[in-house]
């Protein structure tokens, strides 16, 4: 229930100060308070927080790293793994999900198997993957793939089911062929759900890659070095006792995860312009 | 003061003495993302105790803003609103307190889906602390029976038809013995045949309870069929353009719809509203 | 929006209005103990170049009938023919406009309108020109690049009309197309739509629950009974076209028709209302006693 | 919607009749038989590849027959089967950790989420911190958690709690924000005080989202628990999976995986049941609106 907008020429006096600014200010206050509390808590050696290095120390540890090749190589390693595993999950998960959504028989056959595999957490697959795949890299890739594929497939199926029946009827009565309906109704109809699935999936992927690298580094499952990565970076910092670097690693992964999910969101909006406008 | 003159021809049956609303030069301005919006401007309207006053205007014309001001959901930026001579909101107190003397029935229905119909109806007196749960349930059962709502007490609102849900909501409002019932397009989403059944049901309830009814709609037939008076509002900003006395005697039944008097009133309204509608329609398209 | 003569010619070009005959059609749903007959022994004709309006209480099986006419489903018994050829499945000679908008949200107005020709591979220069013309006709020329979510309710309906018309169907079937619009926009849409009909004289079948809408639009009015769906009455509405809202309110003949339709409908509405639950039936009972007494 | 559903509710039809009807309809459709085909294909392929033909890398994987025999073996070769008490010790310690984590995260997350949604001031001051910490994967916390809590048990529970907490709090907040504006307004009209609105409107209104959050929360709890147990800790199913690998007891890995799957599935089913129990109104609404 909105009423008309008064002519644009009129000045726009606001009775109170801008809410927008207010809310940014509040966010800054909130994060600053958090950092100060962290600093104080760890300096005072409070229980629990006491062993976490204070932010100033973390910052000091971070600065030399910025020019360190090894650190950036870890970024590269993890990102490469996430990217390939995730790409594989998309390449297999999306067509598979679409097939399940469009063919009743295919769904009836494969969905129950898929449902009994789904509750097994991806990381529980790590040892089995190592036994199966010839190289370390492939087994990590496989686990990452597993982490993302279930979410992507579920979203594809759910998205296809939620397409309005009338769209099919309308298309059918205007003379569409099956292929035309698939290409011009089903595909665009599931696209938004695919993007949502990918966004959630990539979050899981970062979780998995960190753990897989850690397990390969120190947990004992994989004895030989797995060739770095941010998870390994954290784990080796822990083994080496350089605690500030643990925090640096965590923040790095947080940033990497955030960047990758916003890239997906951006790309998603690019390919679904009708969702963007509104 | 510029209260519209009462012609008396359609004066409501004077059983009720409470529930007169005086809306006096009300202004409402708010700031949206697009800038300053004048929703209501210098709007004055007198609603007599115990009458059904229909507010007609195209959607988005600011009718609901007016209702929100009376109910106390929003503040006003100018003017004042009185209920039985008492100021609800005015210059010193821009926002009224929502209270059980002015109960709203919402556009899309606001029965709490997690409570059964009976619990919904009993809700008011219990939270006000006027009755115990048991007393309230007793009274609720009685009132629901009066409105023909038997056998659905222990169903959840989601289980009954939409027409039924609206009736439960009206009964829930009446449980509080309100002075005024504020209805915000309550039948807008119903199909037209169910709607006609609901109109008669609402009148039935009204004849027994005699509360003031402030009824927002954009359906002209509904407005004339139900109302003692019909206030046609201008589009953006909202203020009364024409106030029509509906001198068809109550009680009314659906065959009123084809009576000559009804038709002449309909003509009068259609011509008054049509140009507003076109204006709103065009404005809407321009905005897009 | 008045139509120039050549406009009218263009609109009518390529239209061959059809006639649908429905004979003794029945349709059941569910199976074994849960079987319900939704349509029973329905017989009526949708006459050539006329606007036939069907009215009945909501939930009376009208939508089922539409699915049968469109060919999305098959009747259990009886026949449906278009120009004496039996209807076997969906085809673009019978197009359906659905309740609320069924424009594809991922296509612009322009792509939506051209969907049908594109799907059938009929994208000649003439088609493009026709699309352009129709876009002008429904007043959406500036909105060709907009997505449906950017259009107002009334504009969406008009875009949908254009999307259907470009396929040159011999019959258009409209299932409560103006439901969900607010009452005032709706009335403007009636005027717009009936003018469009008058210009094209295509066979139209229009389903609604609104008596005013029905009388305003119809050449013939079919009044349906409650489940199972059957034709209760057929009224010929002989009010001259073009019609306007004001003229209709003043018209005595319209009022007479309304009166007789209302009395049938009110009865059916009460029945359909009470079908929902036992409580509603009790209510209707008590109510009708009170009204009489 | 002039068909099917509404029509069928004409007569008096009991809930049990409806269940019978649905089951018989399901049995008459191809679905259950296709499901059987699917399982047969999956297990058959696994069996043939790993135990009969021993193709390529499949040879090193334990086959289904081998796993089942070991799992149901009263005298297990590798010391872990349904008959060995150790098995239950592992299951129980994982279960206990998840339970702790779930209870703690629910007790903290639900009120936190409710306040986030209810009070704009609270949200604006606390949510930024929440949002800054959230992108850090829970599993990246593992070493830090070990450093912070030192003991054996607490780091694992902390990690699991953290993962669940995010899901619960976020969904609860969304739940409160999803409540239609007219519900609190209607309550205010009927004379409810602020606290009464919170109790009668905000909490039940957010309940559907809260339970979605709890479902996700159980899922991620198992997800991170297994990882945490694989890296640190003694006992627990994650630990079993990892040590069996190190000790080359391959069938036990599979036993561990299957057990995690079953227990995980059962726990989320429990949460769903609890949700259905607490939200009768939704169950009944959905039962009515079943078909198109």
- The subunits that touch chain C, with at least 3 C-beta pairs less than 8 Å apart, are A, B, D
Rounded to the nearest 10 degrees, the angle between the axes of helix B192-209 and helix B162-174 is 20
Supply D70's token pair: 């070991």
Asked if the model's pLDDT at residue D105 lies above 90, the reply is yes
Domain that holds residue A151: 58-276
D60 contacts in A (CB within 8 Å)?
A: 131-132
Asked if the model's pLDDT at residue A6 lies above 60, the reply is no
Q: pLDDT, tens digit, for every residue of C253-275?
A: 888 888 888 778 777 766 666 55
| Cβ distance of A1 and B283 shorter than 8 Å | no
Q: First vs last Cα of chain B: how many Å apart?
A: 39
Asked if the model's pLDDT at residue D81 lies above 80, the reply is no
In chain B, which among 198-257 make CB contacts under 8 A with chain A? Answer: 235-238
Stated pTM of the model: 0.81
Residue to mutate among D191, D276, D288, with most B CBs inside 10 A, is: D191
D147 touching chain A per CB within 8 A = yes
Taking 70 as the pLDDT cut, the residues of chain C under it are 1-14, 30-34, 58-60, 227, 269-293
| Cβ distance of C98 and A169 shorter than 8 Å | yes
Residue to mutate among B31, B32, B64, B216, with most A CBs inside 10 A, is: B31
Edge-to-edge strand order for the sheet containing B21-32?
A: B35-47, B21-32, B78-83, B86-89
pLDDT of residue A50: 75
Asked if the model's pLDDT at residue A261 lies above 50, the reply is yes
CA–CA separation, C267 vs A183, rounded Å? Answer: 48
CA–CA separation, C244 vs C239, rounded Å? Answer: 11
B158 touching chain D per CB within 8 A = yes
| Cβ distance of A2 and B61 shorter than 8 Å | no
Asked if the model's pLDDT at residue A3 lies above 50, the reply is no
C2 touching chain A per CB within 8 A = no
Q: What percent of chain A has pLDDT over 90?
A: 10
pLDDT band at A227 (very low <50, low <70, confident <90, very high): low
Structural domains of chain D, with CATH:
4-61 (no CATH), 85-286 (1.10.3720.10)
Determine the distance in angstroms separating the CA of A38 from the nearest CA of chain C, rounded to an integer: 47
Q: pLDDT, tens digit, for every residue of C166-183?
A: 888 888 898 888 887 777
pLDDT band at A63 (very low <50, low <70, confident <90, very high): confident
Count how many pairs of residues, chain A against chain C, have C-beta atoms within 8 Å.
67
A220 contacts in D (CB within 8 Å)?
A: 242, 246
CA–CA separation, D266 vs B199, rounded Å? Answer: 51
- Residue A176 near residue C77, CB atoms below 8 Å: no
Question: Of B191, B254, B278, which has the smallest distance from its Cβ to C266's Cβ?
Answer: B254
| Cβ distance of A1 and B62 shorter than 8 Å | yes
When pLDDT is averaged across residues B145-167 and rounded to a whole number, the result is 82
B163 contacts in C (CB within 8 Å)?
A: 273
In chain C, which among 175-234 make CB contacts under 8 A with chain D? Answer: 227
| Cβ distance of D21 and C227 shorter than 8 Å | no
- Residue B226 near residue B246, CB atoms below 8 Å: no
CA–CA separation, B231 vs B233, rounded Å? Answer: 6
Domain spans, chain B: 50-73+96-287
Q: Mean pLDDT in chain A?
A: 81
Q: What is the DSSP letter of A183?
A: I
Question: Mind giving me the DSSP string for chain D?
Answer: --SHHHHHTTS---HHHHHHHHHHHHHHSSHHHHHHHHHHHHHHHHHIIIIIS--GGGGGSPPHHHHHHHHT-SS-SSS-STTSHHHHHHHHHHHHHHHHHHHHHHHHHHHHHHHHHH-HHHHHHHHHHHHHHTTS-GGGGHHHHHHHH-SSHHHHHHHHHHHHHHHHHHHHHHHHHHS-THHHHHHHHTT--HHHHIIIIIHHHHHHHHHHHHHHHHHHHHHHHHHHHHHS-SSSHHHHHHHHHHTT-HHHHHHHHHHHHHHHHHHHHHHHHHHHHHTHHHHHHHHHT---
Question: Mind giving me the DSSP string for A45-85?
Answer: T-TTGGGSPPHHHHHHHHHHHTT-HHHHHHHHHHHHHHHHH
Determine the distance in angstroms separating the CA of C251 from the nearest CA of chain D, rounded to an integer: 33
CA–CA separation, D124 vs A27, rounded Å? Answer: 6
A248 contacts in D (CB within 8 Å)?
A: none
When pLDDT is averaged across residues D97-101 and rounded to a whole number, the result is 91
Q: pLDDT, tens digit, for every residue of D218-243?
A: 998 998 888 888 877 678 888 888 88
pLDDT band at D104 (very low <50, low <70, confident <90, very high): very high
Cβ neighbours, 10 Å, residue D173: 25
Query: Which residues are CB-contacts of D155 (< 8 A; sequence separation ≥ 6)?
Result: D142, D145, D146, D148, D149, D228, D232, D233
- The subunits that touch chain B, with at least 3 C-beta pairs less than 8 Å apart, are A, C, D
pLDDT of residue C281: 54
Question: Of C29, C32, C276, which has the smallest distance from its Cβ to D3's Cβ?
Answer: C29
D26 touching chain C per CB within 8 A = no
Whether A18 is covered by a domain: the verdict is: no
A244 contacts in D (CB within 8 Å)?
A: none
Report the b/e string of B225-246 with b at 16+ CB within 10 A: bbbbbbbbbbbbbbbbbbbbbb
Question: Of B31, B40, B65, which has the smallest distance from its Cβ to A14's Cβ?
Answer: B31
When pLDDT is averaged across residues D128-143 and rounded to a whole number, the result is 87
D19 contacts in C (CB within 8 Å)?
A: none
Whether A8 is covered by a domain: the verdict is: no
CA–CA separation, A171 vs C132, rounded Å? Answer: 21
CA–CA separation, A203 vs D181, rounded Å? Answer: 32
Interface of A with B (CB under 8 A): 1-6, 8, 10, 12-15
Q: What is the DSSP letter of B43?
A: E
B35 contacts in A (CB within 8 Å)?
A: 5-6, 8, 10, 12
Could you tell me which chain A residue has the CA closest to the CA of C104? A167
Cβ neighbours, 10 Å, residue C180: 15
Whether A192 is covered by a domain: the verdict is: yes
Report ipTM (2 d.p.).
0.79
Least confident span in A209-213, B190-194, C19-23: B190-194
Whether A75 is covered by a domain: the verdict is: yes
pLDDT of residue D235: 83
Determine the distance in angstroms separating the CA of D75 from the nearest CA of chain A, rounded to an integer: 24
- When divided into structural domains, chain A yields a total of 1
- Residue C69 near residue C22, CB atoms below 8 Å: yes
CA–CA separation, A20 vs A9, rounded Å? Answer: 23
D283 touching chain A per CB within 8 A = no
| Cβ distance of B156 and D285 shorter than 8 Å | yes
CA–CA separation, C14 vs C23, rounded Å? Answer: 28
Determine the distance in angstroms separating the CA of D12 from the nearest CA of chain A, rounded to an integer: 30
CA–CA separation, D260 vs D241, rounded Å? Answer: 10
Asked if the model's pLDDT at residue B6 lies above 60, the reply is no
Residue to mutate among A1, A13, A17, with most B CBs inside 10 A, is: A1
How do beta strands B52-56 and B212-217 pair? Answer: parallel
Which residue intervals of chain A are DSSP H helices?
A: 19-43, 55-65, 69-102, 104-117, 126-132, 136-161, 165-173, 178-181, 187-214, 230-239, 243-271, 273-276
For B281, phi and psi rounded to 5 degrees?
A: -60, -45
Question: Of C58, C152, C291, which has the smallest distance from its Cβ to B253's Cβ?
Answer: C291
pLDDT of residue D19: 78
- Between the alpha carbon of residue B3 and those of residues A237, B6, B24, B199, D129, the distances in Å are 81, 9, 8, 29, 56
Asked if the model's pLDDT at residue B8 lies above 50, the reply is no
pLDDT of residue D106: 93
CA–CA separation, B127 vs D200, rounded Å? Answer: 10
How do beta strands B21-32 and B78-83 pair? Answer: antiparallel
The label of the residue with tokens 């595999």 reads A117
- Residue B51 near residue B212, CB atoms below 8 Å: yes
- Residue C92 near residue A173, CB atoms below 8 Å: yes
When pLDDT is averaged across residues B132-153 and rounded to a whole number, the result is 85
The CATH number of the domain holding residue A91 is: 1.10.3720.10
CA–CA separation, B241 vs B235, rounded Å? Answer: 9
Whether A6 is covered by a domain: the verdict is: no
Q: Mean pLDDT in chain B?
A: 81
Whether A27 is covered by a domain: the verdict is: no
CA–CA separation, A107 vs D38, rounded Å? Answer: 9
Q: pLDDT, tens digit, for every residue of D4-37?
A: 333 334 444 566 777 787 788 788 888 888 888 8
When pLDDT is averaged across residues D124-137 and rounded to a whole number, the result is 87
Structural domains of chain C, with CATH:
5-93+169-292 (3.40.50.300)
CA–CA separation, D21 vs C32, rounded Å? Answer: 9
Question: Of B188, B196, B281, which has the smallest distance from its Cβ to C266's Cβ?
Answer: B196
Question: Which among B273-282, D174-183, D236-245 has the top mean pLDDT?
Answer: D174-183
| Cβ distance of D7 and C227 shorter than 8 Å | yes
- Looking at the DSSP bridge assignments, the partners of residue C172 are C95, C204
Asked if the model's pLDDT at residue D112 lies above 90, the reply is yes
C116 contacts in A (CB within 8 Å)?
A: 174-175
Asked if the model's pLDDT at residue B13 lies above 80, the reply is no
A190 contacts in C (CB within 8 Å)?
A: none
Give the containing element (helix H, strand E) for C36.
Answer: strand C36-46
Least confident span in B143-147, C281-285, D53-57: C281-285
pLDDT of residue D292: 28
Could you please state the CATH topology (level 3) that the domain comprising B50-73+96-287 is classified under: Rossmann fold (3.40.50)
C282 contacts in B (CB within 8 Å)?
A: 148, 150-151
- The subunits that touch chain D, with at least 3 C-beta pairs less than 8 Å apart, are A, B, C
pLDDT of residue B7: 38
Whether A29 is covered by a domain: the verdict is: no
* Coil, strand or helix at C86: strand
| Cβ distance of B258 and C259 shorter than 8 Å | yes
pLDDT of residue D172: 93
Asked if the model's pLDDT at residue B10 lies above 50, the reply is no
| Cβ distance of A165 and D124 shorter than 8 Å | no
pLDDT of residue A16: 52
- Between the alpha carbon of residue A166 and those of residues A171, A173, C116, C173, the distances in Å are 8, 10, 15, 14
Question: Of A173, A180, A189, which has the smallest distance from its Cβ to C70's Cβ?
Answer: A173
Least confident span in A160-164, A214-218, B164-168, D205-209: A214-218
- Residue A186 near residue A102, CB atoms below 8 Å: yes
């Amino acid at each position: 229930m909105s009423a008309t907008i008064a002519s644009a020429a009129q000045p726009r006096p606001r009775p109170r100060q801008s809410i927008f600014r207010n809310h940014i200010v509040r966010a800054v206050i909130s994060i600053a308070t958090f950092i100060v509390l962290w600093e104080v808590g760890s300096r005072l050696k409070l229980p629990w927080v006491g062993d976490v290095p204070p932010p100033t120390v973390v910052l000091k540890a971070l600065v030399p790293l910025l020019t360190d090749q090894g650190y950036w190589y870890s970024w590269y390693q993890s990102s490469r793994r996430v990217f390939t595993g995730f790409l594989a999950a998309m390449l297999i998960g999306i067509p598979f999900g679409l097939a399940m959504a469009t063919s009743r028989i295919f769904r009836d056959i494969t969905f129950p198997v898929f449902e009994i595999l789904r509750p097994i957490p991806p990381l529980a697959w790590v040892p089995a993957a190592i036994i199966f795949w010839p190289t370390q890299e492939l087994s990590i890739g496989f686990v990452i793939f597993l982490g993302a594929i279930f979410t992507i497939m579920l979203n594809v199926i759910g998205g296809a089911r939620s397409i309005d029946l009338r769209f099919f009827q309308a298309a059918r009565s205007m003379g569409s062929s099956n292929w035309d309906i698939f290409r011009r109704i089903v595909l665009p109809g599931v696209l938004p759900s695919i993007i949502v699935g990918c966004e959630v999936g990539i979050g899981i992927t970062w979780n998995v890659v960190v753990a897989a690298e850690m397990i390969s580094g120190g947990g004992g499952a994989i004895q030989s070095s797995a060739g770095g990565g941010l998870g390994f970076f954290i784990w080796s910092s822990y083994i080496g006792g350089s605690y500030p670097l643990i925090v640096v690693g965590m923040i790095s992964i947080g940033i990497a995860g955030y960047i990758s999910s916003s890239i997906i969101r951006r790309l998603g909006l690019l390919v679904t312009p009708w969702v963007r406008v509104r | 003061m510029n209260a519209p003159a009462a012609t008396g021809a359609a004066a409501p049956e004077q059983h009720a003495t409470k529930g007169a609303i005086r809306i006096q030069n009300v202004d409402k301005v708010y700031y949206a993302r697009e800038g300053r919006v004048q929703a209501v401007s210098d709007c004055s309207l007198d609603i007599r105790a115990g009458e059904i006053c229909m507010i007609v205007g195209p959607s988005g014309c600011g009718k609901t803003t007016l209702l929100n001001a009376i109910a106390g959901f929003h503040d006003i930026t100018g003017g004042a609103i009185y209920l039985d001579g008492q100021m609800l909101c005015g210059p010193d107190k821009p926002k009224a307190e929502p209270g059980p003397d002015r109960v709203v029935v919402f556009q899309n229905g606001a029965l709490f889906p997690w409570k059964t119909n009976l619990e919904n109806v009993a809700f008011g007196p219990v939270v006000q602390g006027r009755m115990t749960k048991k007393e309230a349930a007793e009274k609720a059962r009685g009132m629901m029976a009066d409105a023909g709502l038997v056998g659905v007490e222990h169903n959840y609102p989601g289980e009954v038809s939409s027409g039924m849900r609206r009736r439960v909501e009206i009964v829930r409002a009446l449980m509080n013995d309100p002075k005024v019932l504020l209805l915000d397009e309550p039948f807008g989403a119903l199909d037209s045949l169910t709607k006609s059944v609901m109109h008669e049901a609402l009148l039935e309830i009204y004849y027994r309870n005699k509360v003031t009814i402030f009824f927002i709609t954009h359906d002209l037939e509904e407005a004339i069929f139900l109302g003692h008076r019909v206030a046609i509002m201008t589009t953006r900003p909202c203020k009364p353009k024409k106030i029509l006395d509906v001198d068809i005697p109550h009680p009314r039944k659906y065959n009123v719809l084809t009576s000559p008097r009804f038709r002449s009133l309909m003509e009068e309204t259609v011509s008054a509203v049509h140009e507003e509608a076109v204006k709103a329609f065009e404005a809407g398209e321009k905005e897009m | 929006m008045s139509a120039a003569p050549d406009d009218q010619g263009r609109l009518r070009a390529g239209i061959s209005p059809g006639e649908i005959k429905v004979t003794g059609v029945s349709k059941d749903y569910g199976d074994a103990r849960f079987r319900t007959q939704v349509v029973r022994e329905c017989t009526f004709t949708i006459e050539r170049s006329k606007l036939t309006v069907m009215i009945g209480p909501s939930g009376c099986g009208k939508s089922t009938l539409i699915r049968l006419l469109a060919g999305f489903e098959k009747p259990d018994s009886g026949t449906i023919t278009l120009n004496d050829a039996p209807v076997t499945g969906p085809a673009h000679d019978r197009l359906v406009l659905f309740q609320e908008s069924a424009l594809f949200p991922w296509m612009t107005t322009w792509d939506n309108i051209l969907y049908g020709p594109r799907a059938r591979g009929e994208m000649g220069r003439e088609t493009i020109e026709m699309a352009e013309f129709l876009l002008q006709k429904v007043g959406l020329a500036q909105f060709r690049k907009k997505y449906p979510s950017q259009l107002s309710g009334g504009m969406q309906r008009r875009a949908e009309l254009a999307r259907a018309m470009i396929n040159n169907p011999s019959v258009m079937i409209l299932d409560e197309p103006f439901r969900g619009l607010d009452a005032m926009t709706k009335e403007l849409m009636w005027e717009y739509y009936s003018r469009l009909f008058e210009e094209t004289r295509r066979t139209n079948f229009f389903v609604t629950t609104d008596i005013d809408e029905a009388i305003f639009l119809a050449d013939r009015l079919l009044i349906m009974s409650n489940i199972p769906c059957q034709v209760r009455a057929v009224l010929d509405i002989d009010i001259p076209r073009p019609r306007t809202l004001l003229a209709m309110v003043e018209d005595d003949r319209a009022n007479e028709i309304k009166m007789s339709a209302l009395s049938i409908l009110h009865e059916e509405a009460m029945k359909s209302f009470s079908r929902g639950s036992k409580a509603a039936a009790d209510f209707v009972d008590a109510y009708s006693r009170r009204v009489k007494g | 919607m002039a068909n099917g559903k509404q029509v069928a509710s004409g007569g008096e039809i009991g809930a049990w009749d409806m269940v019978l009807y649905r089951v018989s309809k399901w049995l008459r459709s191809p679905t259950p038989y296709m499901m059987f085909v699917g399982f047969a294909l999956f297990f058959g392929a696994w069996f043939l590849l790993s135990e009969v033909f021993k193709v390529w890398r499949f040879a090193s994987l334990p086959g289904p027959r081998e796993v089942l025999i070991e799992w149901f073996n009263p005298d297990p070769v590798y010391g872990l089967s349904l008959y060995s008490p150790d098995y239950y010790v592992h299951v129980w310690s994982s279960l206990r950790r998840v339970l702790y984590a779930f209870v703690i995260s629910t007790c903290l997350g639900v009120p936190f989420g409710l306040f986030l949604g209810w009070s704009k001031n609270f949200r604006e001051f606390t949510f930024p911190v929440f949002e800054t910490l959230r992108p850090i994967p829970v599993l990246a916390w593992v070493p830090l958690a070990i450093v912070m809590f030192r003991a054996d048990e607490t780091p694992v529970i902390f990690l699991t709690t953290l993962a669940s907490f995010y899901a619960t709090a976020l969904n609860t907040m969304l739940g409160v924000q999803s409540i239609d504006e007219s519900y609190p307004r209607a309550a205010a009209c009927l004379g409810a005080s602020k606290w009464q609105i919170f109790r009668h409107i905000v909490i039940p209104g957010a309940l559907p989202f809260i339970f979605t959050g709890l479902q996700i929360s159980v899922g991620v709890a198992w997800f991170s628990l297994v990882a945490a147990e694989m890296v640190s800790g003694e006992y627990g199913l994650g630990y079993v999976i990892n040590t069996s690998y190190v000790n080359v007891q391959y069938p036990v890995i599979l036993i561990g995986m299957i057990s995690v799957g079953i227990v995980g599935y059962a726990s989320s089913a429990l949460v769903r049941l609890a949700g259905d129990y607490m939200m009768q109104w939704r169950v009944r609404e959905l039962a009515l609106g079943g078909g198109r």
